Structures are given as C-alpha cells and as structure tokens.
Chain A
Amino acid sequence: MNETSLRAQLELAVSAEPPLGLLVGNSLRAGRKHRRRRRTAGAASLSAAAIVLLGAVPALTTGPGHQAGRSRSAAGRHPAAASTAYVATSKGTVVPIRLATNTPGAPIRVPEGMPGPFITKSAASADGRTVYEVGDTSGGATVTSIDTATNTAARPITIKGAYGPLAFMLAPDGKTAYLSSPGGLFQVSLATSTARRVTGCSWSGCQAIALTPNGRALYVISGDKSVIVVRTATNTVLSRIKLPANSPGSPLNIGITPNGKTAYVVDAVAGAKPGTNSVVPINLATNTPLPPIKIWAPGLADGLVIAPGGRTAYVLSSRGVTAIDTATNQAEATISLPEAAGNAYYMVLAPDGKTLYVLTPRGIVPIRTASGTVLPTIEVPHLTTFTVIAISPDSRRIYVGAAISHRASGRRWPKIVTAGVVPVNTATRTAGRFINLGGDPFSIAFGQ
C-alpha cells in the first residue's frame, strides 16, 4: 500500500455518503442565533493574531486529487557508471553515499522534500554530473541541482503554484524538466533556472508523467481519467485521451516503450476481484486507447516498469507481477509472490533488465525476467520504513529505506529512533549494515 492505494481506499470509505440534507440551512440558523448571543455577551470569536496567521496559509486546493507515486524503471535513465547514491531525507538534506564503501558523506542542504513512493523526486543527468532534487515549500515546489563533483547545491528554482509536487522527469536532452502537481504541469528550464506552467489537468491536478524517447511529446495522467498529450517544443496541449468507458479504476501510472510506439496506463481498483485491475495500452501514433489488458494478480495494481529492450512491460499488484508482451498487448504470465513475503509495496527493474526486485514487508523478492523464476526473498534488517527502494545503474547495488525502532514497555507501537538505508548486494543477494542518515529517506538518485 502506498499513498495512491491509500487514497483509493479512502475514496471507497467515503463513497457511501448520505445526502447533505439541511446541513447548510441548520448552520445558518444556528449561526444567526450564535451571533446574536455573542453580540449581547460581548465575546470576540477570534483573536486578531489568529486571523493574521490564517492569512499566511497558502490557498487550499479545491478538490481531492491523486498522488500517483510509483516504481519506475531505472533502465536507460541513469549514467553508465555511478559512484555515489544521493539520498534525500526528511531532514531537508541530501546525503551522498559512496557505493564503494557505503559510507555517508557530509549532508547537503536542500529545501525539504516530501515522502512519496517513487515518483521520482530526484533524478540524475545522463552524464551523472548533476543530481536534481525536488522540494516542497510554502512558496511552491523547488528544484535544486547538486554538482556531484563538489557535492554542493545551487540556488533552488522555486515553481510558484506547483504545490505538493508529484512526478518529476528530466527531458532526454537534459535541458528541461517537467514537474506535475495538483496545481498543474510545469516545465523547468534547467539552463535559465526558470519555470512556466504548461497546462492544468482537471480539478484534481496532474499526476504521473511519461516522455517519449525523443522527448517531443509528454503524456500526463489527469484526474478525470484522461491522459493529456503535450508537444514539448511549443508547450501546447495536443490532445486529451479519455480512457475507455469499460475501465473501472483510476489511472495510477504510465510508461512508454523505448520505441515510442505504445504507452501503458495502469488502471487501478482497490478491493476488487482479480481481473478488474487492468492496463490500457495507448497507440501513440494515433493517440487512441486499445482494449484494456486484464490483470489477474490479486490486489491493487500500481507499479509499472518497462524492460530496456521494450518487449515486456511488468505490472506490480499486491500479490504478484504481470508480464505483458508489448508486441501483442497480451498478459503472458502472472508471477505470484511468495505467500510469506506479504503484500508488495514497490518494484524496481535492474538496468541490465535481468531481474525485478519487489519490496515487501519481509524483504526483497528477486524475480528473474527471462524465466519468471522467483528467487529466495532477501531479508533486510530494520525494514520498518518503506519509503524508498532504488537500484544502481550497474545493477549491483540496491538501497532500501529502513529504521531502527524501539518499543518502550507499556506502549503499543515502537518508536522510531533513527532512519536511513540498508545496502543490498544483488550478486550475493545479501543485505549489508544499516547506514544511519538521521532522517527518513525520501528518494535516491545515482551520480558520479
């Protein structure tokens, strides 16, 4: 379960709401009576200080929106050789960890980010020389670039109007980036450190993003069950693709094949029987949806990764992984997770395409993509904080969020003492020692 599936369950809980009835009328009548009483009693209802404070609070969004955070494939996006993992933490720092020694370096200060499942809140340039971190401040979302040679942060770019940033993606040319939020889709010029709003996406905001490999078009999930297509050269909206009427869920995730021909949208339904969740392929030549592919693995489908060669798309549900053949748009296999592992949280695909790693409460379940073989679960110590999992560009190292906790006697729940990451060696499939970062890890990017 992550924010998006939690959101889906909250919606389910609220869906049986009774009619409003006389709520407003009653409030008005009671309010008038209250006001008359107050006037005669002479009491003030609010101090001036409180009003001033409230005036400083930024305007709220007017409607609920999705937070679509998902596991994304690292394939093709990271530099070929990376020496350092940059871990953004809940303390408003980015801690560089040398892969060779697993030792954390001096923390780099950045505007505070936010927890969230992988919606890439950080990304590295193709040459590994710059890592970009997304923050969330009262002035709006921020993008801060870190020079990996000196491990210093530049002045953050503030994007006014982009509150609660969800997805962040670098364009293939490395010169621009895109950020989606409840406030809309924004383009960030990394060269000039400026940002502009490209489009809004319905009342519930812009969610997951995918870019075509040539960078010319951007596809963003809109809260009204449509996908908005943007021509990036001119920042114009090309079209709006409505998901088929027979897809019952909410679009949570989107990915595009390396040949730029097909997009896959994960249409998720919480608490439904197998076969209800689906993946909707979109033909990018015509921008039209194709018949939904039913997902039979039990549970909410949310994770999506596409193999580097583009032949297979993998979808993660709570209890299994579905492999989709992109040539035929058929589900070719459903790989069940071990019963003992529990419900899956996130999935990453090794950049070499050979192994999927699924994070569960019991540890990391490796799945060989060629054969669908499920390898023994990698046990990870201190696995209590499921905020992040990421794999290095050379496919050899995984970092997963963890925390040391202590349960005092008489208390029901343990208290987290400190948090950090645990390194996992993918060749030996063993976890190393906990690396204390002093705060919850929010996102990880790999740089030089």
Chain B
Amino acid sequence: MTTAEDEFVEFAEAAAPRLRRTAFLLCGDWHTAEDLAQTTLVKMFASWRRIRRRDAVNAYAMRTLLNTYLAGSRKKRPGEVLTARLPDPPSEVPSPELRITVLEALATLSPKSRAVVVLRYWDDLSIEQTAALLGCTPGNVKSQSARALDKLRLLLDDAAGEPSPARLAAANQMTPGRTGHE
C-alpha cells in the first residue's frame, strides 16, 4: 500500500459509517445503503489524488453519495419505492392499528425531498451547504424543508399510542379527492 492509499483507507474508515447511515435514511434498507456507500468510496478512491485536500473531501463524499442515490432513484420504475419495509407509500389514510415509522414516512417523499430532509436534519448541514450539494437554490431548499416537515408531521405519530383521529383526518385532507384548506 502506498501513502496515498493509507490516507484513503484512513478517510474511508472514518467516513464509511457516516456515509452508510445517511444512505440508509435515503433509501430505507441497509443492503442498498451498503452498496451506495461502497460505490461512493470506490469513486472517491479512483480520484483520490485529486481530492485529498481535507476540507473538500467530505463535501465530495456527500456529493458523490447523493448523485449516486439520485441517479439510482431515477432509474426506478414509477411506483417503486426505495424501502424494503413498505410495499407502497400510504396513498390512503393508514388504518388505526398501523403505526407508521419515520422510514415509511420518508418513503412518501420524492428522492430529492428526502435528500433535503436527511441533509438538513440528520447531517445537520446548513441551507447553503445543502443547496450547494443538491445543485439548487437556497430558497428551494428552504421551501422543500418546510413542505417535507409538514408531510412528515401529518404521517408521524410520536405519541406512544395510536394515531389520533385528528391526525388521520388531516392526512385524509391531503389525499386524492380532497382540495386544500379553504
């Protein structure tokens, strides 16, 4: 192993858990997350000499992970959801016994919205950093964050009990067949 390779291994060992966790929240299962993280590291190794500078390297890793994930999500057939748990995103009001998890709720967002949520609220990136990584404007990130949080709120029940009737009713208002609030 050369010195550059030693350096890469050191970086990869430190970055791998973090990349895999972010990938997991993006795609919903550990196998795919592992694949995404590995693909990211492989691509980085290929260009390692050019990207060794410390402060760019983490951003590069995140950008590569996101591009790999988003490219993969575009290839999916319409209706196919990137999670091992949920066969379909909830298109109807969930039955009272079903307790929706955060992964299932994330699955109802578009890949880009999901990426915004994970970057902002898991990786704790600022709006500017998120916008730079996703190649969109900060304004776009801000509105996507707010919308995504609204949707997640309606789906998630963080009480220990069953979903409340009001939450189901509110979620009902956002399903096909209903108009927005007046």
Contacts and interface: CB of A to CB of B under 8 A. Distances in A.
Contacts of B58: 59-60, 62
Contact of A416 (B42, B45, B143): B143
Contacts of B133: 57
A342 B172 CA distance: 13
Contact of B166 (A339, A386, A406): A339
A412 B142 contact: no
Contacts of B56: 51, 54-55, 57
Contacts, number: 246
Interface string A91-126: 110000000000000000000101100000000000
A60 B62 contact: yes
Contact of A319 (B21, B102, B159): B159
Contact of B180 (A31, A53, A61, A414): A414
> What DSSP secondary structure best describes chain A's contact surface?
loop
A276 to B, nearest CB: 9
Contacts of B5: 28
A90 interface: yes
Contacts of B149: 1-3, 6, 115, 386
B3 interface: no
Given A9-B158, A163-B129, A64 B146 contact: no
A63 to B, nearest CB: 8
Interface of A: 1-3, 5-7, 9-10, 12-14, 17-18, 20, 23-24, 26-28, 30-32, 34-35, 38, 45-46, 51, 53-65, 67, 90-92, 112, 114-115, 136-138, 163-164, 182, 205, 270-274, 298-300, 318-319, 339-343, 345, 360-362, 381-387, 404-407, 410-414, 416, 440
Interface of B: 5, 8-9, 12-13, 16-18, 20-21, 24-25, 30, 34, 37-38, 41-47, 50-51, 53-56, 58-60, 62-63, 91, 101-103, 117-118, 121-129, 132-133, 138-139, 142-143, 145-147, 149-154, 156-161, 164-167, 170, 174-176, 178-182
19 contacts: A6-B152, A23-B37, A27-B41, A27-B42, A34-B43, A58-B59, A67-B121, A138-B128, A300-B158, A339-B166, A342-B166, A343-B153, A361-B154, A362-B166, A383-B181, A404-B180, A416-B147, A440-B142, A440-B143
